[in-house]
Each structure stands twice: as C-alpha cells, then as structure tokens.
Structure 1
Amino acid sequence: MKKFKIGYRTIKTAVGASIALFLAAYFDLHFFSSAAILTILCVQTTKKKSVHAVYTRVVASIIGMIFAFIALESFGYYPIVLGLMLLVFIPTIVSLRVSDGFVSSVVIMMHIYNEGNFTVDLLWNELSLMAIGFGTGLAVNMYMGDYQKQLDHYINQIEELYRSIFSEIVKYLRNGDTSWDGKEIIEAVNLLNKAKSLAFKDVENHLARKENQYYLYFDMREKQLEIIERVLPKITTLPVMVQQAELVADFMEELSINVHSGNTAKKFRDKLDIVKQEFAKMPLPENHEKFLAMASLYQFIEEMDEYLEIKQSFKGIKKKKAITN
C-alpha cells in the first residue's frame, strides 16, 4: 500500500475549490458548484502549466459558448444537435491547440443546454463562473514550494558519488583493487534524473525564466557522467601496471578531493597538461602489454580533459553560503 500523503497540490486544490464555491454562491450564480470544478481543472504542478491551463480553458470555453449559441439557438435544444455540435467543436479546439480545455468547455456548454435558452443573464452567469473558477485556480497555484534546499541536497549527493568513483579509480591504479561493484554509477544516473526533473519544475515555476543554474549544473554533470562511463572500461582493464599509472592516480586523487559546484576546471586542465608532459618524458614501453596499458592511460587523460572542459564551460552555482573545495 502506498504511503498516505497530503502534498501542496492537494491542499491547494481543496482550498481553491472551497474559495471558488464560496464566491460563486455568495454572488448567487446559477450552477455555482461548477466554479469549484473549473478551479480543480486549473491547479497544476507548476506555475507555467497553470497559466497554460487557464489559457486553454478560457479559449475553449468561449469557443464552446459560441458553438452552443449558434447550434442550439438555430436548430433547437436537442441531444442530436448537441452531439453533432461536438463533432465539429472537438476538431476545432484540437486544431487551435486548446484541447486541454475540453472538459471545462463542456461544463459551460451543458449549462446552456440545460437552460434551454441562451440569454444575456446566462452569458454573464457563465462568464462569472469562469472568472471565479479559473481566477481562483490561477491564484492558489501562484504559491509553489521552494526547491532550493532539495536541489542543493542533490548537488551534495552527486558530488559525493563522483568523489567515490574517482577514489575507486585511484585504488585500482595504485593497488590493482578490483573489488568495486560500480554501484555509484547507477546511483548517480538515478539521482541525476531526479535532480533534473526537479530543476526543470523549478524553471517552470518562474514565469519569466526559461532555464536556471541548477538545471544547467545537473545537465553538465550528466554529460560528465557519460564520459566517466565511457572511460571506466579503459582504465579498469589494464593488462599490466606501468609507471604512468601512479602519475594518473595522483591526479585523480587530487581531482576527487576538489569535486564541487564552483569552477576550478581551468586549474586542473593545466595540471593535466603537466601530466601529459610527464608522460612524454617517460621511457617507451618495453613490450606489447605495457604499450596497451600506456595507450589506455593516455586515452583516459584525454577523456578527463574533455570532462574538465565541460565543467569549465559552466559558470558555477552561486549559493547562499560560500562555495568551498
């Protein structure tokens, strides 16, 4: 059985429906309970989705009233007329890309059908229901929880996983330790998916902003993880251990200590250039196995240069607290 939980959206739906119902009844509107239905249909997971929901429902409802007026007043208030009208109405709102407003528009159209007479009073009644229902739904959905604390927590978790992965690489290069099961890779993939989803939701809750630094950060880490997954087989299947392995291990150890959300990639790319220069100074391989090992290590540091280049293009995250290494 799934854990019982009352979230923000549930609370906003209940509060919004109650307010809309109260206002519609207070103004003595006919079909006043429909205001609550219209509000419920507009409560969405993000502010942008809520604004879009109100837009589609307003447009679809107005088109629905026009269709109802023309069809029912011209051919009579009969079920067959209503059915034929829907055959034309549905493709119309689909073509206008406001099909999400179908249910709310049908609510309005059924009011007109039940009344059996389209009057000015009925028109104002329906417009008032729409104003109260959609307006209340939009108003309650303007409050969204602050995701920054959770996003910062995801950052800390991801960076800790990257440190663990690099530490395991160091262990292998120094000691030939092959006991690592790679679970941190799977955890990082799952965590990045959750983090990007939450960061995108945060973007959707800022009406004038299309992206944010958190989403860009998680996207950057995802690209880096793709490189890590690609190079791990090269570094963990060395046929023999060569002198260069210790050089790479020293670099990876220092890098693992300095995984953070700031941007010091330029410094580490400079250090990697030094590693490459040291590689060039070392003696040539004595046999085929050592040649393969050195080639794999060199490919690895080239891939790590790309890893750092991706980070260098990221401006960093400005947190409330000072960033530390």
Structure 2
Amino acid sequence: MSLSLRTLKIALSTVVAIFIADFFQLDSSISAGIIAILSVLDTRKTSFEIAVQRVISTLLALGIATVLFQLLGFSTLVFGLYLLLYVPSAYKLNVQSGIPPCSVLVTHLLVAESTSWDLLLNELLLMLIGAGMALLVNLYMPSKEDKITEIRNKVEEQMQKILYQIDECLQNGIQTDVSDAELRTLNQLLEEGMRLAHDEADNRFINQSYYSIRYFEMRKTQAKILEQMQYNLEQISIPLLQSKKLAGMYYLTAETLHEYNPGTNLLEEIDELIHYFRKSDLPQTREEFEKRAILFQLLNDFERFIQIKKDFFDEYRNELFTQKNSV
C-alpha cells in the first residue's frame, strides 16, 4: 500500500469512526478513531485477522478488569495487577495485538470507577466501530498484478543475462565473468516479487491464488543454483571441447527462458549431453580430469535448474495455459 493511500485511509477511517461514536453518544469517542488508526494495515487479510483478535482481546480485557475492579477496587495497583493477568493471557490466546488499545479502554473504567453494563458496552462499541471502519476502508485495495508481472519479466531478463555470461565463460574457457552484482540484483528482484505476491494473495478473499508466490519460490531456488554455478565457474581456466558443448546449452536456455516454457526439450538435450560426456575419451592429465569433473558438476546443476522449472510447469500447467491465452 502506498503512503498516500494509507494516509487517506487512516484519515478517513479515523474521522468517520469518531463521527459514528459521537452519533451514538458514546463516551471517549476519540478512542474509536485511535483504534481505527491502529487497525489500518497493509492487506485485507491482516486487517481482518487483527480486527477479530482485538474484539476477542477486548472481551478478555474487560472481563479480567471487571472482576479485579469489583473485588479489589479502582486503583493504579489493581490496574497493574490487571496487566499482569491480561498480557500473558492475550499472548496465550494469540490476541496480543489488542493489548495497547484494550488497555486504554480499561483505563476508562478506572477513571470512571465503574464497571456498569452501559460502560462496558460503550467500550466494546468503541472497539467495534474503530476496527470496523478500518476493515471497511481496506475493502479497497488496488491490485498489484501489473507490478508482479513487471517484476517477473525483470527476473527472467536478469536470469537471461547471467546465463549468457555463463555461456561466454564456457565458450572462452576463462574464469567467471558472472559478477556478484548481477546475482544480488536478481535476489533483490526476487525478494520484492515475493513480498508483492504475498500481499496480493492476502488481499484476495475470493479466487485466491498462490501461483505468483510459487513462481518466485521456484526462481529463488534456481537463483541459488546459479550461485553454485558461479562458484564452479571460478575453477575453470582452460578451454575444453565439452565446455563449449555445455556452453551451447546455457545459451539455448537463455534464449528460451520464459515463464511458459516447460523445459522438456532442454532436459532431453541434457540427457544427450550426459551420454556424450560418458562416451568421450578419458582425460589425459590431472588438470584436465579436474576440469572435466567441474564441468560434469555444472551439467548436474544445470539439469536441476531445468527440472525445477519443469516441476513448476507441471504443477501449474492449467493456470499457465489460461494466462497465456489471456495475454
């Protein structure tokens, strides 16, 4: 949620909550506005969960406070005893988000030196109005799908760039030119995409989809494999015929890297390349043997890289097909 939208929602929900509380002639109507401020959160899901927690927490707080004030009187020490009982109870019931606003409501009982039914209902209505207005304004939550799609495209472009660099390293038989900066950029894009995908999923009560979350999880796993490839590339310093053949696979992957590509053909190409490696002449020197072993490890990592994408495609085949046809 943008700062401007959050500001507008907070201002609107606060003012309306206070007006409603005043309309019903509730005492301490300003508290409804404060509760609204605390209840405007980033997503519909979190706003709903917190609102429910705070209503339950209000009932708990008022119940404990009423018993203590009735038995021990209205004093600061009794209020402290209320906190000693209420705070751990709220955490035990997982409604701790209500501790600050509910404790403010309890101070109204302390100041009024009363636990009458009218006053207790007054405090409960303040919570319901404040939390309810926050829920109402959060019904409007602009979709992040366009931004998520943009991030997905940037992730794939960044991966293509890294794969082209690996291809160049293998073609020339030189140590890695894949910079840490490129991998950091990729990881930053993945983190941003994951955050947006979670927010979008939490804003949908109907037709909720976790496709984007799984997509970024899949790409994060691939990114870790790319980091391992970068490490292995640092060990290569001589050109080999096998390295040039493997380079062609990286180039082909970069050319065809796309959300809708299952990678089946690439896995078939990898199988053929593994068969070629096994039929190749044995290394003649220790150095060549070590380089061949590293290349074989790169090939295994590359196979895992493609298999992860294929598994994702198989899991979301129908959704990918629908998306592709709607573009």
Q: When the two structures are superposed, what TM-score results if normalisation uses the length of structure 2?
A: 0.89
1:252/1:83 Cα in 2 relative to 1: closer, same or farther (>3 Å)?
Answer: closer
1:6/1:239 Cα in 2 relative to 1: closer, same or farther (>3 Å)?
Answer: closer
- Letter of the structure 1 residue corresponding to residue 267 of structure 2: R
Correspondent of 1:166 among 163, 167, 170: 163
Q: 8 Å contact 2:57–2:98 — kept in the other structure?
A: yes
Q: 8 Å contact 1:220–1:310 — kept in the other structure?
A: yes
**Aligned match of 1:49:** 46
Gaps of 5+ in 1: none
Matched residues, percent identical?
Answer: 28
- Which SS does the other structure have where 2:235 is aligned? coil
Q: 8 Å contact 1:261–1:323 — kept in the other structure?
A: no
**Aligned match of 1:38:** 35
**Aligned match of 2:258:** 260
| Matches for 1:90-239 after TM superposition, within 5 Å | 90-176=87-173, 178=175, 179-207=177-205, 212-239=210-237
User: Following TM superposition, by how much is the alpha carbon of 1:321 offset from its aligned partner in structure 2, in angstroms?
Assistant: 5.4
Q: 8 Å contact 1:241–1:293 — kept in the other structure?
A: no
User: Following TM superposition, by how much is the alpha carbon of 1:118 offset from its aligned partner in structure 2, in angstroms?
Assistant: 2.6
Gaps of 5+ in 2: none
1:62/1:180 Cα in 2 relative to 1: closer, same or farther (>3 Å)?
Answer: closer
User: Following TM superposition, by how much is the alpha carbon of 1:130 offset from its aligned partner in structure 2, in angstroms?
Assistant: 2.1
CA-to-partner distance for each residue in 1:136-172, whole Å, 9 max, x for gaps?
Answer: 1121122222111111111111111111111111112
1:110/1:244 Cα in 2 relative to 1: closer, same or farther (>3 Å)?
Answer: same
Q: 8 Å contact 1:172–1:236 — kept in the other structure?
A: no
- Letter of the structure 1 residue corresponding to residue 32 of structure 2: A
- Letter of the structure 2 residue corresponding to residue 43 of structure 1: V
User: Following TM superposition, by how much is the alpha carbon of 1:180 offset from its aligned partner in structure 2, in angstroms?
Assistant: 4.7
Superposed CA RMSD: 2.3
- The CA distance in 1 between the partners of 2:17 and 2:292, in whole Å, is 71
Correspondent of 1:83 among 80, 85, 110: 80
1:83/1:242 Cα in 2 relative to 1: closer, same or farther (>3 Å)?
Answer: closer
- Which SS does the other structure have where 1:314 is aligned? helix
Q: 8 Å contact 2:57–2:90 — kept in the other structure?
A: yes
- Letter of the structure 1 residue corresponding to residue 47 of structure 2: S
Once the two structures are overlaid, the 10-residue window that deviates more, 147-156 or 41-50, is 41-50
Equivalenced residues, count? 320
Of Structure 1 and Structure 2, the greater helix share is in: 2
Once the two structures are overlaid, the 10-residue window that deviates more, 219-228 or 112-121, is 112-121
CA-to-partner distance for each residue in 1:279-309, whole Å, 9 max, x for gaps?
Answer: 2343333322222222221221111111111
**Aligned match of 2:21:** 24
Q: 8 Å contact 1:54–1:138 — kept in the other structure?
A: yes
1:84/1:149 Cα in 2 relative to 1: closer, same or farther (>3 Å)?
Answer: same
Q: When the two structures are superposed, what TM-score results if normalisation uses the length of structure 1?
A: 0.90
- Letter of the structure 1 residue corresponding to residue 221 of structure 2: K
**Aligned match of 1:291:** 289
- The CA distance in 1 between the partners of 2:226 and 2:180, in whole Å, is 11
